[in-house]
Structure 1
Amino acid sequence: MYEIAIIGAGASGLMLASSLKNRKTCIIETNDKIAQKIKVSGGAKCNITNSLVTCDNYLGNKDFIKKVLRNFSNDDLLKFLNSNGVYPKINPKLVKGTYFCKSSQDVIDMFTKLTTHVKKILNTKVVDIDFKDEVFIIKTSNTIIKAKKLVVASGGLSYASLGASSLAYDIAKKFGHDVSKLDPALVGFTVQKEQFWFKKLSGLSIMARVKVEDKIFNGSLLFAHKGCSGPLILNSSLYWKKGKISFDFLPKQNYKELLKSNALISSKLPLPKRFVQEFLESIKVKDKSCNTLTKEELEALSIIHNYELSPAGNFGYTKAEVTKGGINTDEIDVNSMESLKQKNLYFLGECLDVTGELGGYNFQFAFSSAITCARNI
């Protein structure tokens, strides 16, 4: 009999386990190694937090998120990492304020050392959970595990190749929790027929601005064979519901000022020539001398500052960084992460209806929710 059983050896599960000293604890993990999602994060350099973290960087209940982040801030996380020999540094090339580690392996090695007191039950899938006589009975692919307290930190549906599944949501529903609609997030967009010209630019990236719902993002837009991706699009996917998004392909300049010349349009616009040529073809304007543009053609070119499109959909869970939606936070005690439906049952991290933007925000929430739980468990 374990005092505490944790399902999932990812960021939140490992942070919790590292904080539970002198407690008979086990971690149940689908993979044959711990921290597999940490390993691939941030291009194997683990984008672990962000200097600009606030509740406004998340989709979900702002009050709930604010309280959890306050329990263990980005500064607290950095102090914790530094005290354990991990020294992340800001690299704003992809997303402003993002802290990257030298290597994801540094984080994995840290948690390996900090959880030597915890029994790790690897390569084991949880099949079902029962609660009887104040004890959780965890049926797995290999054995039956019993525990007085159960913490679910198994993540969402993204990264199925790393063992992601609907397990957290299934457990939540079994114990009476409401689970909001789930969708892939931080993921690329597929496009409508009108934007098939994007596909011809596959592999090309430009700096742009996008407006989606009431959010505005600046960053790198990557054209892909399915549509578009890159940090700009990944963040947009978090907030997009249905309908149009708007691009400014020249966010820092006025196109009319640039076209006061006798040179070709593709020579004067400070964008890759391939992009300009495909863009011009899409709006049916020839690549010609700027001083020969008609009033109508010049007006047509104004769309470069407000190019609207309605995404056809997204690249799906296989390409998504995270899962949007999840377990209703109104049914979770913000001071302990304990279920308000079932005593001694806790939920951490991504499985909750809290989703952060690209740039270390989701790791920060995972760690903050784990520490919130650890202090009260």
Structure 2
Amino acid sequence: MRWVVDKVDVVVVGAGASGLMCAATAAYRGKRVLIIDHANKAGKKILMSGGGRCNFTNMDAAPKHFLSDNPHFCISALRRFSSQDFVDLVDRHGLDYVEKTPGQLFCEHSAKDLLDILMTEVEWSGAELKLNTKIHSIDFQDKQTIVKTSQGDVTCESLVIATGGLSIPTMGATGFGYDIAKQVGHDILPTRASLVPITVQPDRKAQLAELSGIACDIAATANGTCFQEPMLFTHRGVSGPSILQITNFWQPGEALNINLVPTLSSDDLTTVRQNTPKKSFEGFLSNLLPKRLVELVKTEFPWLNDRSAQTSNDQIDALYQYLSNFDIAPNGTEGYRTAEVTLGGVNTSEVSSKTFESQKQKGLYFIGEVLDVTGWLGGYNFQWAWASGYCAGQYV
């Protein structure tokens, strides 16, 4: 069934985290707001994130946790709408949530509880939502914008692009937001998949596949940045928090250091020989690493099950170098198919950090992931969605 709306104040393209927040905020101000999305359901990425429980913010969210070619851009919005501001919102609705690790808040039961809150806010504010609606074209005129869709045409004074990035195309992700930005002359900074598992070279893949499903605490370092968190071995390579985090800073072809024993030094291994000469290094490592991983190490160092007193300094040094520079032979990443975010995007130097309005086209706004602002893993990207959506909603 086609619909025709002669005019609204605001059209928000994208019914995700930032779009829903922006729409409700603007509608509460008395604006007539229409949200358009080509998907059949709002908030799909919200529902699938965090294993279906959505890590919806981080109480420690600060500008240092975000990457951008223009690092100062995010400061204003994060100050004007903080993590506590969002917690206050969900508290008013009685959301049950838990703090899994310091600062990281997850829905206690289901991400659907959070989406229900956002949809309730949209309903209470009076904003309208139209799903299964494709946009054919956008025509920017002097004082209004004409949006031609599969369900009819609508004109508006403010058009908000909240379409996200390219990550997880099965959830409906497209490059539509970048196309609109290019249409009015915006610079798009190079995009790539991030917060994403790393794949390994074919020869190494066969070896590491034997470890699929096991996890261990490691330190992953690239380009001077280090994350000490768990790593998970998969059938295709490695994943887990430390790996996802480091992909914000590492690109294929660059050096990547994986330290399986970040709490140990070479001297610590020498001390093991000194203090427990009758015990083996295999026994010592078994208290630090999963058994299957120790078995892999033994294929490189068959003497591991000998008494430590029999080992030489050179053997200990070689073992430490192997463990602290564990070669996963990285090949690339799994790409947008499983990436949580898209690095790069609309150049924020061409967007107001106060209003989120384009400096190229009056009445055009960009919020959320479509912008060149990417957070660390741990609820930071959702906080950016809430903050940018809320702040833009004050001005559209």
* TM-score tier (shorter): over 0.9
CA distance in 1, matches of 2:270, 2:348: 49
- 1:267 paired to 2:291: no
1:15 equivalent in alignment to 2:50 = no
Within 2, Cα distance between the matches of 1:18 and 1:176?
Answer: 29
Q: Give the letter for the 1:142 counterpart.
A: Q
Moved over 6 A (4+): none
Structure 1: state its 5+ residue gaps: none
TM-score by length of 2: 0.90
- How large is the Cα RMSD of the aligned pairs? 1.7
The answer to which of 134-143 and 181-190 deviates more is 134-143
Which residues in structure 2 correspond to 1:138-149 (within 5 Å)? 138-149=147-158
| 1:45-56 correspondence runs (5 A) | 45-56=53-64
**From 72, 83, 88, the counterpart of 1:79:** 88
Larger-gyration structure (1/2):
2
Instruction: Work out whether residues 182 and 324 of structure 1, in 8 Å CA contact, stay in contact via their aligned partners in 2.
Output: yes
Q: Unaligned stretches of 5+ in structure 2?
A: 1-6
Question: Of the candidates 104, 107, 121, which is equivalent to residue 101 of structure 1?
Answer: 107
Which residue matches 2:209? Answer: 199
Cα distance change on mapping 1:258 and 1:137 into 2, 3 Å: farther
Q: 1:113 maps to what in 2?
A: 120
Instruction: Report how far residue 43 of structure 1 moved.
Output: 1.1
Question: Percent identical across equivalent pairs?
Answer: 35
1:245-303 Cα deviation digits (max 9, x unpaired): 1122122233333454433432211211210121343x455433133223332111112
Q: Give 3-state SS (helix, strand or coil) of 1:362's partner.
A: helix
Q: How far apart are 1:147 and its partner, in Å?
A: 1.5
- Code of the residue aligned with 2:381 in structure 1: it is N
Matched residues in 2 for 1:160 and 1:217: separation? 28
Q: CA deviation at 1:186?
A: 0.3
Distance 1:10 1:338 in 2: 19
**Where in structure 2 are the equivalents of 1:1-377 lying within 5 Å?**
1-20=7-26, 21=28, 22-60=30-68, 61-92=70-101, 96-102=102-108, 103-116=110-123, 117-192=126-201, 195-196=204-205, 197-241=207-251, 242-253=253-264, 254-259=268-273, 260-269=276-285, 270-281=288-299, 283=300, 285-289=302-306, 290-303=308-321, 304-307=323-326, 311-377=330-396
Show CA shifts across 1:52-76 (max 9, x none). 2111111112211112211111111
Amino acid at match of 1:36: K
In terms of mean alpha carbon deviation, does 260-269 or 214-223 score higher? 260-269
Structure 2: distance between partners of 1:69 and 1:275: 42
Shift of 1:44: 1.2
Supply the distance in 1 between the matched residues of 2:343 and 2:149 (Cα, whole angstroms): 27
Q: TM-score, normalised by structure 1?
A: 0.94
Instruction: Give the 3-state SS of the residue equivalent to 1:312 in structure 2.
Output: strand
| Equivalent residues of 1:244, 1:308 under 8 A apart | no
Q: Deviations 1:80-123 (Å, cap 9, x if unpaired)?
A: 2212322433111xxx4211112211111111211121121101
Counterpart amino acid of 1:35? Answer: G
The whole-number CA distance in structure 1 between the counterparts of 2:313 and 2:157 is: 75
Q: SS of 1:325's equivalent?
A: strand
TM-fit CA distance, 1:308: 5.2
**Counterpart code for 1:288:** N
Q: Which amino acid aligns with 1:255?
A: L
Aligned residues of 2:39 and 2:133 also touching (Cα < 8 A): yes
Q: Cα offset for 1:309? A: 5.5
